[in-house]
Chains A and B, each alone.
Chain A
Amino acid sequence: MSESSMPQLNPEYFASQIFWLIFSFAILYIVMAKFALPKIANVIESREDVIARDLEDAENYKKDSEATELKYTNAIKEAQNKASETLAISRDKLNKQIEADKKTFDQESAELASKFIADLDIKKQKVLQDSEQIANVVAIDIINKILGTDALNQDNVKSSIKTMLKN
């Protein structure tokens, strides 16, 4: 040992080191190649499969949800359309109804008005006639009381009252 300060250059244990290197490395190689590495490869591969499958599932779920959403929005749109349609129809119906009602009301009221006017005319006529007679009687009575005579020409009085009432 004293001739070299580097134990690495001492050939005494070269054979031992090479032997144990080959021995341990051979065991390592056999265990790795036969058992460990295929196992690790298998685990990694199966995990990748699981991940790929999960991603595929997620993609499918996404598509499903998108389709459902589309369906849902379509349904809402349809419902809105239907609602506005119904609203328009009922509004039209109501408008028509209102118009028809208004028309009949106008007609009826016009009829009633003309009837009232006719009635009024008749009543007015009657009042006029009545007032003429009353005026005649009162005028004749007044003249009789004032003049004290029956010699009054009643027809003259009546015609003069008639002309007075007319004016």
Chain B
Amino acid sequence: MAAEKSGAPDPMHQFDIVELIDIELFGLNLSFTNSSLFMVFSVALIIFLTLFSFNGRATIPTRLQSIAELSYEFVAKMVRDNVGDEGQKYFPFIFCLFMFVLFCNMLGMIPYTFTVTSHIIVTFALAIVIFFGVTLIGFIMHGIKFFKFFVPSGVPKALLPLLVVIEVISYLTRPVSLSVRLFANMMAGHTMLKVFGFFVAGMFFSGNLFISPLGIAPLAFIVAFTGLEILVAFLQAYVFAILTCIYLNDSIHMH
């Protein structure tokens, strides 16, 4: 809003949180915002896709049912390949995680929508839950032996303290890398699209007969870049889910 006042276009304006319904509980501002709206909307879409697209359990699926089945088998294969049979317990969680991130990313690709995953707090909340969950599973399954995870085998004794420190640090940075990867990808892509959008508008309405037609160039770039962003939206959801699978596998099977 400040940007609009100053007249200069602000590509970060699209990430503003707007309160839709004021809610205050326990002294916290838990307002229903545009972010909340798109979270609920994503969840509603996923539920619609997976629950209401099934019409009488037809042997030959409808298109929507096919999408739901493909998603199911895609995630099931991911869990089976990366975690194995012990991972079946966690399949519903991985499925929800993948679908939630995917739908939030994809809804964000529609103009004038809000991208839930472009906020670090959302991705970090997901990542920290995964981090603690995975660590907890590791300690439940292996007890105190889970600490061996930080001690690589077959290295010289002299190097061991250094390596243990490195292993611990890399383990602790997992939630950070997991959340920043998703957040940064979504934010950067959307910012880039917005910046080029400003270029298009600025050039077309510049009033200069020579510059106006050249506005087609950034427009063409936006079209191509939107395709890439859709790929990134899918890819980041996939990466988020598969890294969760890999962390889970580390906890269940150690190395």
Contacts and interface: CB of A to CB of B under 8 A. Distances in A.
A91 interface: no
A47 B73 contact: no
Interface stretch (B23-31, B152-160, B193-201, B213-221): B23-31
A94 interface: no
Interface in A17-67: 17-22, 24-25, 27-29, 31-33, 35-37, 39-44, 46-47, 50
Contacts of B121: 8, 14, 17-18
B68 A7 contact: no
A167 interface: no
A53 to B, nearest CB: 11
B105 interface: no
B35 interface: yes
A146 B79 CA distance: 156
Given A28-B96, A43-B69, A18 B118 contact: no
B39 A7 contact: no
Interface of A: 1-2, 5-10, 12-22, 24-25, 27-29, 31-33, 35-37, 39-44, 46-47, 50
Contacts of B118: 8
17 contacts: A5-B10, A7-B16, A8-B183, A12-B17, A13-B31, A17-B35, A19-B30, A20-B40, A24-B42, A29-B93, A32-B46, A32-B50, A37-B50, A39-B54, A40-B54, A43-B57, A43-B65
A138 B93 CA distance: 153
Contact of B36 (A17, A28, A50): A17
Contacts of B54: 39-40, 43
Nearest to A4: B12
Contact of B51 (A19, A39, A50): A39
A43 B57 CA distance: 6
Interface residues of B, number: 49
B146 to A, nearest CB: 25
B110 interface: no
B57 A13 contact: no
Contacts of A8: 15, 118-121, 183, 187
A21 B125 contact: yes
A135 B228 CA distance: 145
B33 interface: yes
A84 B116 CA distance: 88
B1 interface: yes
Contacts of A42: 57
B138 to A, nearest CB: 21
A31 to B, nearest CB: 5
Which of A1, A40, A42 has the largest count of B CB atoms less than 10 A from its CB?
A: A40
A13 B33 contact: yes
B149 interface: no
Contacts of A19: 28, 30
Interface string B116-158: 0011111001100000000000000000000000000000000
B247 interface: no
Contacts of B171: none
Nearest to B3: A5
Contacts of B92: 29, 32-33, 37
A36 B47 contact: yes
B127 to A, nearest CB: 12
A40 B39 contact: no
Contact of A15 (B30, B51, B183): B30
B31 A16 contact: yes
Interface string B42-57: 1100110011001001
A8 B16 CA distance: 8
A15 B92 CA distance: 26
Interface in B61-107: 61, 65, 68-69, 72-73, 91-93, 95-96, 99-100
Contact of B72 (A14, A21, A27, A40): A40
Cβ-closest 10 pairs across A and B? A20-B36, A36-B50, A33-B92, A24-B39, A15-B28, A7-B15, A13-B17, A24-B43, A28-B43, A40-B72
